[in-house]
Protein backbone atom coordinates (compact mmCIF):
# COMPACT_ATOMS: atom_id res chain seq x y z
CA UNK A 1 0.00 0.00 0.00
CA UNK A 2 1.18 3.53 -0.68
CA UNK A 3 2.77 5.55 2.09
CA UNK A 4 0.35 8.45 1.66
CA UNK A 5 -2.86 6.33 2.02
CA UNK A 6 -4.71 8.84 -0.14
CA UNK A 7 -3.85 11.87 2.00
CA UNK A 8 -2.90 14.04 -0.94
CA UNK A 9 -4.38 17.21 -2.42
CA UNK A 10 -5.50 15.28 -5.52
CA UNK A 11 -7.36 12.67 -3.49
CA UNK A 12 -9.03 15.15 -1.14
CA UNK A 13 -10.12 17.42 -3.99
CA UNK A 14 -11.58 14.51 -5.94
CA UNK A 15 -13.47 13.29 -2.87
CA UNK A 16 -14.90 16.73 -2.15
CA UNK A 17 -15.99 17.31 -5.75
CA UNK A 18 -17.58 13.86 -5.87
CA UNK A 19 -19.32 14.44 -2.54
CA UNK A 20 -20.89 17.62 -3.91
CA UNK A 21 -22.03 15.66 -6.96
CA UNK A 22 -23.62 12.96 -4.81
CA UNK A 23 -25.43 15.59 -2.76
CA UNK A 24 -26.75 17.36 -5.88
CA UNK A 25 -27.90 14.04 -7.34
CA UNK A 26 -29.54 13.02 -4.07
CA UNK A 27 -31.45 16.29 -3.90
CA UNK A 28 -32.63 15.74 -7.46
CA UNK A 29 -33.89 12.27 -6.53
CA UNK A 30 -35.43 13.41 -3.24
CA UNK A 31 -37.66 16.25 -4.37
CA UNK A 32 -41.13 15.59 -5.71
CA UNK A 33 -41.59 15.27 -8.63
CA UNK A 34 -38.19 13.79 -9.46
CA UNK A 35 -35.84 16.30 -10.99
CA UNK A 36 -33.91 14.28 -13.53
CA UNK A 37 -31.92 17.28 -14.76
CA UNK A 38 -30.56 17.87 -11.26
CA UNK A 39 -29.79 14.16 -10.92
CA UNK A 40 -27.79 14.12 -14.16
CA UNK A 41 -25.97 17.33 -13.21
CA UNK A 42 -24.92 15.58 -9.99
CA UNK A 43 -23.78 12.57 -12.01
CA UNK A 44 -21.69 14.83 -14.25
CA UNK A 45 -20.10 16.46 -11.20
CA UNK A 46 -19.15 13.02 -9.81
CA UNK A 47 -17.52 12.13 -13.13
CA UNK A 48 -15.76 15.51 -13.10
CA UNK A 49 -14.33 14.56 -9.69
CA UNK A 50 -12.61 11.61 -11.31
CA UNK A 51 -11.26 13.80 -14.09
CA UNK A 52 -9.99 16.33 -11.53
CA UNK A 53 -8.17 13.54 -9.73
CA UNK A 54 -6.46 12.28 -12.88
CA UNK A 55 -5.38 15.80 -13.89
CA UNK A 56 -4.06 16.64 -10.42
CA UNK A 57 -2.27 13.29 -10.18
CA UNK A 58 -0.54 13.95 -13.51
CA UNK A 59 0.52 17.36 -12.15
CA UNK A 60 2.28 15.55 -9.30
CA UNK A 61 -0.22 16.35 -6.55
CA UNK A 62 -0.81 12.70 -5.70
CA UNK A 63 2.63 12.02 -4.32
CA UNK A 64 3.77 11.68 -0.74
CA UNK A 65 5.24 14.82 0.78
CA UNK A 66 2.78 17.36 -0.61
The one-digit pLDDT tens for each residue of the chain (66 residues) are 456 677 899 999 999 999 999 999 999 999 999 999 999 999 999 999 999 999 999 999 988 665
Handedness of CA 44, 45, 50, 54 (dihedral sign): positive
pTM value is 0.85
pLDDT at 22: 98
Res 55: pLDDT: 97
- Contact yes or no for 35/28 (Cβ under 8 A): yes
Amino acid sequence: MADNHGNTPAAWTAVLVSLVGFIVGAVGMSIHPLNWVLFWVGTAVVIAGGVVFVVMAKLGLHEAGH
